Amino acid sequence: MWCGKNPRPTGTGAERVGIAICTRVYGYGADDQPTNASSSRIFLYAFDLIELNGDDLRRDPLEVRKATLVSVLAKAGSGIRFNEHLEGDGPTVFAHACKMGLEGIVSKRKDSPYRSGRSPDWLKMKNLAAPAVKREAEEDWGK
């Protein structure tokens, strides 16, 4: 995951946008399933917007930040995609994510402001069988 500011505003003239965005990179194989293997089909998924044109959006509820992010991404290139927000039964969504081989899910209260670090409003559930999570655990154990 990457959360940070774009070092240069994007666009030209009136369209220039200064942005701080939270993203995750995923690669997809020929079967359209996420993969850790080298792939020519790499996409950047944006899931939160914390600053836009100098305006700090962290106090805004998640659902407002995501709506703003959708409008910003509508003007972006094809390499960046919006990470949809799913509402539903958490255990079912997590089980589906695990079947897809994803690292896990993050559950957030849609009315919550942005907070760095751990928060009772945001829960991260890791898929311990996912290669990236296994690699992360191995690296932590090696310290």
Express each pLDDT in 46-102 by its tens digit. Answer: 889 999 988 999 999 999 999 999 999 888 877 788 888 888 888 999 999 898 888
Higher pLDDT, 5 or 71: 71
CATH topology of domain 2-141: D-amino Acid Aminotransferase; Chain A, domain 1 (3.30.470)
15 close to 52: Cβ distance less than 8 angstroms:
no
**Backbone region of residue 53 per phi and psi (left: phi > 0; alpha: psi in -120 to 50; beta: other values):** left
Locate the domains of the chain by residue range. 2-141
What are the E-state strand segments in the chain?
A: 2-5, 19-28, 34-35, 41-52, 55-56, 80-82, 104-108, 122-126
Is the pLDDT reported for residue 9 higher than 50?
no
Q: Taking 90 as the threshold, does the pLDDT of residue 12 lie above it? A: no
Residue with tokens 């959708």: 70
What tokens appear for 132 in the block?
């990236």
pLDDT beyond 50 at 13:
no
Full-prediction pTM beyond 0.75?
no
